[in-house]
Each structure stands twice: as structure tokens, then as C-alpha cells.
Amino acid sequence: MSTTVPTRDRTESRRLPLDVEALRRDFPILARKVNGHPLVYLDNAATTQKPESVIEAVADMYRRSYGNIHRGVHKLSVEATDAYEQAREKVRGFVNATETREIVFVRGTTEGINLVAQTFGRQRIGEGDEVVITALEHHSNIVPWQLVCDEKKAHLKVLPIDRTGEVRVDELERLLTARTRLVATAHVSNALGTLVPVRRIVEIAHAHGVPVLIDGAQAVPRIAVDVRAIGCDFYTFSSHKMYGPTGVGVLYGREELFEAMPPYQGGGDMISSVTFEKTTWNVLPYKFEAGTPDIAGAIGIGAAVDYLARIGIDNVTAHEESLLDYATRSLTALPGLTVIGTAREKIGVLSFTLDGIHPHDIGTVLDSEGIAIRTGHHCAQPVMEFFGIPATARASLALYNTREEIDALTEGLRKVLRMFR
């Protein structure tokens, strides 16, 4: 089992070109063929592929040291508990949280946001209060707030975006009132790739005494995230988008807020004592981890953190920036192609339309060439509505993608143009 990752030195910036060909060999699935072609996997915003070290860490736990955690005195339970808690410590270091008490394992970003909405939200939001989100949110950062606002007769307010897909942060001051209870924003948009200036948003919100939740699903695999430097109150992300297994994710919350929040779900492990008259809660973070968690998944996210730490997240950022630039230049040379989302600061995601051709047809033709992209509204229907389109085709990047794969995408799109024009 790999060792604990020390908290990163945030002044360090090791920007080295990635040896992508060597890294690709870490991902067994990248060697397969799809429809007779080498796989070109460009659907990384939906989910990333897994390196052997993550697959092995999960398999190894089931093979050699699997038991339920926090419950047994026997050897396997103790080993599993140690490994699970070691993974929590790795995640803590990865996002630079102060304490492991501030790191709760959840099922993913969606559950992280729902947890905050159903605990902090239901406790703090009352009739006539307000929650502010942005216009580029994934449904996971819209619907949980609608549920609470409907229940509490509170108002959901939306910070607009401009035609490039940048959040109008200059409008935030105007939206905040004495009734605002929370600001919730994505760090990186899954539909547009916009990198949202979250530090600035936190600064403005905090000046009004308003806490901030950040949906980091698309940021964590791509850029260094330091929750203390950002200053946010909650930060949540999914393992499966950062080269870890599905079924597990992380909710970071400032200890003081977590302490004051009621539990999310009731069950085993989240209690300190239970009688029929009264139950008291376990300490953090266990208060929010009812029932047997995804133990192997947590080990897997720990292995994913190790993997990213070995490569250096700054190197991943540099690689994806350069690849996005190359992809944007290549694709915009195609006739009738419009990039949706042209923010000055963008990472990892290239959404586009081709005049007169439905994105699903684009996706189907590309699939026949072994190229995987996502088509549709990307669970961000309000973004599509804003741009007046039903859907986009979306290529999204990971550390293992290459310029040759972008060339294959460009060639595939030429084929689409020949077929439909």
C-alpha cells in the first residue's frame, strides 16, 4: 500500500512536459480498440479512465485486507480501517484542508451538494431567505437548492454569465442581501470549460458574511485546489472524474460549520450512543458517514491522489492547457464549427456545434471511428437555453490525451462534414 502524501508545498511549481506516452501505459483500457480503431477517449468530463495503480489498490484490498471498518477488533477490520483513514489523510493533503475531520467521504459531488443542502440548508434557510447560484451550474448544483428553497419558501437567485461563458462576478455584490444564506458555484463548468474566479467570489460573499460552496467536480482533476487559499466553506468533488473509482467522492467543510450542522442520514457509525429515547452523534467526520461506506472506493481515491501527486497536478494543468489550445485552433478551422464557451480562462472542456448537424449524429459518426465524446445538454440545460441551442458536442481532456488524438478528432469531424453536407 502506498504511503501518505505530505501536504503539498504550494509555492512549488514543477511544470515539466508530461511523458504522455509513458503515462498512457498506466491505463490498460487505452490499449483497446473500438469499432476497429484505437480508442480515442475524449469524454473525461463525464468520467476518466483508471490507472493500473488505482485498479490494483482496489483489487488488492478485496484480495488481501478486506473487512468492515470502525467495527471490528480483528486484524482485517483493523487493516481496512487503517487504509480507509489513510485515504482520508491523503485527500486532506491533496486539497490542503486543515484537519481530516473536515473530509467526509460521500458518493460523489451530487451527494456532497445534497448533504449540504439537506443539513446546513434546511437548518439555516428560512422563509424569504435567498440562495445564490451561477448560470453555468450543473443540475447537481441547481436542483438540491431548488428542493430546499421550495420547502422553505426561499428564493433561488442566479448570477448571470456573459456570451463567452464567463460568470458576471461584477453582478454578485448587487445580488447579495441581508437574506442571502449561501452562494454555490462551480469551480470549472462541465459544459463550457469556464474557470470560475472562485477566490473573488468567496471574497465578495464573505464580505457580506455569506458562506460559499464550490462544486469542484471538473476542477480537482485539472488544477491544484487549495481549500484554505480559496477560503471556501464547502468544496465537493467526485473520485471517478479524477482517475479514481466510481461510487465515492469528497465533501470538505470547515470544521466549525460541520460541527453546527445536523447529521444527513441516520444509521450505523454516525452515532455516539443510541437509546429509544435519545441518540447522540459521533464526532466529525463520522457524524456524516452513516452506514458502511464504499471502503474500497475510498482506498481507490487515495491511490488516485497518489497517482496525481506523483505526476504533479501543475504538470497536468500545463498539459491540458496546451492541448485545449491546440484543439481549439484545430477545430475552429473547420467550416461551420462554433465553439460554445470562449471564456478567457478555460480548462479541459471544448464544447461545439456544427451548423445544421445534430450533436448526436456527430457523436455517432465519431464513435464509428473509435472516438468517444459526449453529446447532449451535459446536465446543464440552463446553459444550453442561454446559448439558444438544444445540445453541444463536447470533447473533454485528461492527462493521457495527445495531439494525435486531437488530430483524429479533427479528421473524424471532417468525415461528419462530408457525410452531412
Which of 46, 169, 257, 372: binder of ligand C6P (CB under 6 A)?
Answer: 46
List the one residue out of 160, 30, 187 whose CA is nearest residue 95.
Answer: 187
Separation of alpha carbons 355 and 365, rounded Å:
16
Is residue 159 within 8 Å of residue 184, measured between CB atoms? no
Q: Point out the catalytic residue in the list 20, 257, 379, 389.
A: 379
Separation of alpha carbons 96 and 94, rounded Å:
6
CB of 138 to ligand C6P, least distance (A): 4
379 catalytic residue (yes or no): yes
Contact flags string 3-42 toward ligand C6P, x per CB under 6 A: ----------------------------------------
The answer to the question of residue 294 lying near ligand C6P (CB under 6 A) is no
CB of 46 to ligand C6P, least distance (A): 4
Name the residue nearer to ligand C6P (CB basis): 217 or 347.
217
The answer to the question of residue 50 lying near ligand C6P (CB under 6 A) is no
Given the rule CB under 6 A, which of 82-90, 212-220, 223-231, 350-358 is the region that contacts ligand C6P?
A: 212-220
The answer to the question of residue 222 lying near ligand C6P (CB under 6 A) is no
Given the rule CB under 6 A, which of 83-91, 104-112, 258-266, 409-417 is the region that contacts ligand C6P?
A: 104-112
The answer to the question of residue 186 lying near ligand C6P (CB under 6 A) is yes
The answer to the question of residue 118 lying near ligand C6P (CB under 6 A) is no
β-sheet bridge partners, residue 125: none
CB of 186 to ligand C6P, least distance (A): 5
The answer to the question of residue 353 lying near ligand C6P (CB under 6 A) is no
The answer to the question of residue 45 lying near ligand C6P (CB under 6 A) is yes
Given the rule CB under 6 A, which of 126-134, 214-222, 283-291, 340-348 is the region that contacts ligand C6P?
A: 214-222
The answer to the question of residue 233 lying near ligand C6P (CB under 6 A) is no
Residue carrying C-alpha cell 509555492: 11
The answer to the question of residue 218 lying near ligand C6P (CB under 6 A) is yes
Given the rule CB under 6 A, which of 162-170, 197-205, 327-335, 373-381 is the region that contacts ligand C6P?
A: 373-381
Separation of alpha carbons 275 and 257, rounded Å:
27
Residue carrying C-alpha cell 452531412: 420
Contact flags string 122-151 toward ligand C6P, x per CB under 6 A: ----------------x-xx----------
List the one residue out of 281, 227, 277 whose CA is nearest residue 254.
Answer: 227
CB of 119 to ligand C6P, least distance (A): 17
Which of 328, 379, 402, 407: binder of ligand C6P (CB under 6 A)?
Answer: 379
Residue carrying C-alpha cell 441551442: 389
The site for ligand C6P, by CB under 6 A, has a size of 17
Question: Which residues contribute to the site for ligand C6P (CB under 6 A)?
Answer: 45-46, 108-110, 138, 140-141, 186, 190, 215, 217-218, 238, 374, 378-379
Active-site positions read 379
